[in-house]
Each structure stands twice: as C-alpha cells, then as structure tokens.
Structure 1
Amino acid sequence: MITIQEATNPEAYRIAATLFQEYAAQLGVDLGFQHFTEELATLERQYARPHGVLFVAYEDARPLGCVGIRRLDDSVCELKRMYLRQETRGRGLGKRLLAHALEAGRSLGYSTMRLDTLPTMQTALALYTRAGFYEIAPYRVNPIVGTRYLEIKL
C-alpha cells in the first residue's frame, strides 16, 4: 500500500535528502546555481512548517518519491524536488504527491505556487499543466536553456 507522509523527524528528512540526491543525479546537470549542497544541509529549516512542507511517498517502508514546498514570500510558495523513483512512474503517484503539495500550500496560507522545470522533463510539465499551472516569466535565475517557469493560483 502506498502512503504519503509529511516529513517531521530527522529520519524522514534523511530519507528525503537521499531522494533529492537521486533526483539531482538523474538530471545530469550541476545544481550548484541553486545552492543544492546548502539546501540538503538545511532541509528541516526550508521545508518545515509554518513556511514549508516536505512529503515522502512510501510503499510499506520503502521510499518511492518526494515533493516539497518552501516560501518565496508571504503569499507565494515554490514547488521543489518533485521526484519519483523510475520503477514507480506511471502509477499516478506524481498526481497524488502534487495534490498533497497544492493542499499544503493552501493550508499554509499561500495564494500562489510557482515552479521551474527543465525542458527535458516533459512528463512533469504535462502533469503540472493538467493540474492548472500556466507559464509565467522567469522568477529566478536558471542558466539551463529552455527552463520553463509555471505558477498556479491556490
């Protein structure tokens, strides 16, 4: 049975950090421009209530994927690190993780959620578009050509 749990303890954040590292390795790009090493070291601060949240999906005790949201400003949060292990893709879990993230953004009082996605992530882009995200102008620096910037009103 697949469950989605909010990370609330050091072990859950350690598992999420492992998933974040897998995500970064599969991208094939250097995330140094996003201060990725610092992000990993401060997950509990960046992705914790009252300004953020981090969800991990499990099948029994095995981690399958994750998604986080973090504060950009008082009314805008950012969706980050949506990742599913390869063997779990195509089972609707991405849609479930995204639904958890959208609801969390609303419950934390944000009115808008933003994200950026690489041009190679066409499946993710389709998921976001189906959920109601639409393209916007860049809101942060990303040196990867073709990066898409999206938002949704919560």
Structure 2
Amino acid sequence: MNKLFVIAEVINEKPSIDMMKQLFLEYAQSLNFSLCFQNFQKELDELPGVYSPPKGLLCLALVNGKPAGCIALKPLGDKVCEMKRLYVRPEFRGLGIGKSLANHLIARARELAYDKMRLDTISTMKEAMALYRSSGFYEIEPYYNNPVEGAHYMEKNLNE
C-alpha cells in the first residue's frame, strides 16, 4: 500500500457509486470532445452497469479518504477486457496514482482470467499514452468506431 493513497474496489453502494459518477463526470469535462458516441449518460445512469462484477470492476484512489482518481474494467468478450475512464484529479497528479490504478486493474484482469486488455485514447493525452506504453500496451487496429480525431487503440497481452 502506498503511504499517500489507497486503491479501493467499488462495491455497489450509493456513496461509492456517487464518488465514481463524480469522477467520471470530471473526466468527461476534462476532454475537448463529447463522449455521447459512447452512450456516456446511460453509462452514468446505470453504474456499475457494464463494469459490474464478476467480469467488470470499478476502482477509486483515495487520499485521506477523499476521491482522487478512478479507473474501470469492462468485459469485451470472454478473454478480452477494456480499460476505461482512467482519471486523476489535477491536484493529485504527480503522486503515481494513475500508474497505480492502471497496475491494479491489470493485475485484477489477470486474476479474472482475461488474456488481453484493450483501451482507446487520443494523441493529446500524452501523459496517458506514455503511461500505457510503459505498462506494455502497443498500438493495434481500431476495435470499435471512435469518431474523435487522433484516436489511438492499444492492447496489452496479459499472459506475458
């Protein structure tokens, strides 16, 4: 456990879900495009929804009990999952929270017997792209239609 923050897996209870919703909204507002093509409002309304256990997961990073960041795991198929909604609040950046959230999600995906993890990002998210590459993700062909200019699709083999 890091001395500055803790990563907690979200259970389906109102306080935790409300924290996730707030972080998801902040994430969406930090982008220079709309997430409507991903049915974002429906995703918020139905949380945990597509991220529900046993094959999905929602995680919070907490600093002194306050939500500092989030990440989510979504099943794409029997052996393939997707990393979604990695976000760290600006005041908590630089503490290694994003890397720890990603590492936690990757470890849990392995425990859930996924073989591959995918994600999509955009070229303007330079720090995120560097984090993904340093975590073993590599570029792949699009696995769904993302209309945002500069979209990148990445994958990691979880069996390595």
TM class by shorter chain equals over 0.9
Alignment partner, residue 155 of structure 2? 151
CA drift of 1:10 comes to 2.3
Does the 8 A contact of 2:10 with 2:17 survive in 1? yes
Q: Letter of the 1:110 partner, please give it.
A: Y
Q: Distance in 1 between matches of 2:22 and 2:37?
A: 20
Indicate whether 1:11 and 2:18 are aligned. Answer: no
Q: Letter of the 1:61 partner, please give it.
A: G
Q: Distance in 2 between matches of 1:44 and 1:82?
A: 15
Which of 126, 130, 137 aligns to 1:126? It is: 130
My pick for the range that moved more, 9-18 or 110-119, is 9-18
Alignment partner, residue 64 of structure 1? 68
Alignment partner, residue 74 of structure 1? 78
Q: Letter of the 2:28 partner, please give it.
A: A
Q: Distance in 2 between matches of 1:22 and 1:58?
A: 16
Q: Distance in 2 between matches of 1:27 and 1:145?
A: 13
Structure 1 length-normalised TM: 0.97
Alignment partner, residue 30 of structure 2? 26
CA drift of 1:74 comes to 0.5
Alignment partner, residue 100 of structure 1? 104
Q: Distance in 2 between matches of 1:45 and 1:107?
A: 21
Aligned to 1:79, the other structure's residue is in SS state strand
Runs of 4+ in 1 over 6 A off after TM superposition: none
CA drift of 1:116 comes to 0.1
Identity value in percent:
44
CA drift of 1:60 comes to 1.4
CA deviation profile, 1:95-145 (whole Å, cap 9, x unmatched): 100011001111111110000001110100000000100000000111111
CA drift of 1:48 comes to 2.0
Pairs aligned (count) = 154
Aligned to 1:43, the other structure's residue is in SS state coil
